[in-house]
Chains A and B, each alone.
Chain A
Amino acid sequence: MSFKEISTWIMVVLFSGLFFLYALPVIETRSFESAGGEQIFGFILAFVVLVTIAHVVVAIIAPKKANEAEDERDRRIELYGERAGSFALGAVCLFGLAVALITEHRLFANIFFLGLVWSEIVKGLWQVALYRRES
């Protein structure tokens, strides 16, 4: 297993742990009000610390692997993963937009809506630039 794959496993396990630890009180209380800014900040901090520790441990156990540079296969796999992640993020944004519209939180509705439009602009501009560069 390459360092890149090990690193991906670490991220998946830690993100899953974070997701369920954070989501559990929300599901239990059936309210998104149960966790606020402090909890979010705490989870982000804990995640960064755990990810760093996990990577350092792997680098100590297998230093040769840690020095491996990523190659074209790693980049391709990452790109496919990014695509799936973007799809999930887009779906969540649409859900957020719908909730914000229903609950009449216009500020959040506009943030979600403009965020989605902005991401499409960035994607399009990036693709146009690449098409031009490669033609």
Chain B
Amino acid sequence: MATKAIANRIRELRFAAGEMTQSHLALRVGVTRQTIISIEKGKYSPSLEVALRIAAVLDEPFDTVFQYDPALDKEFQKGAKES
């Protein structure tokens, strides 16, 4: 069960894409391997540009790579209560 508002399936999709390594994905996206590791673990949320590039490199639709659950987003819930 997801506990964070933004989740991703990068690790799974990397393996599906011919067992692409983190280093190779990092090189194609233009970030460091450490950044890919952090994104995969859900510790770092990339910019929209980097997220779109990851989806493009993995050749998958954006929402297949990244998932967003508003129910787990505190800011979203706060906004919903205030409006």
Contacts and interface: CB of A to CB of B under 8 A. Distances in A.
Name the residue among B33, B34, B38, B50 with the largest chain A CB count within 10 angstroms.
B34
A81 to B, nearest CB: 15
A2 interface: yes
- Interface size grouping (class) on chain A: 10 to 19
- Interface size grouping (class) on chain B: 10 to 19
Contacts, number: 28
Contacts of B44: 73
B83 interface: no
Grouping DSSP codes into helix (H, G, I), strand (E, B) and loop, the A interface class, with mixed when no group exceeds half, is: loop
Interface of A: 1-2, 4-5, 68-74
Grouping DSSP codes into helix (H, G, I), strand (E, B) and loop, the B interface class, with mixed when no group exceeds half, is: loop
B50 A72 contact: yes
Contact of B34 (A2, A69, A72): A2
B71 interface: no
Nearest to A65: B32
Given A2-B33, A73-B44, A74-B35, 5 more contacts: A2-B34, A69-B30, A70-B32, A71-B31, A72-B46
B3 interface: no
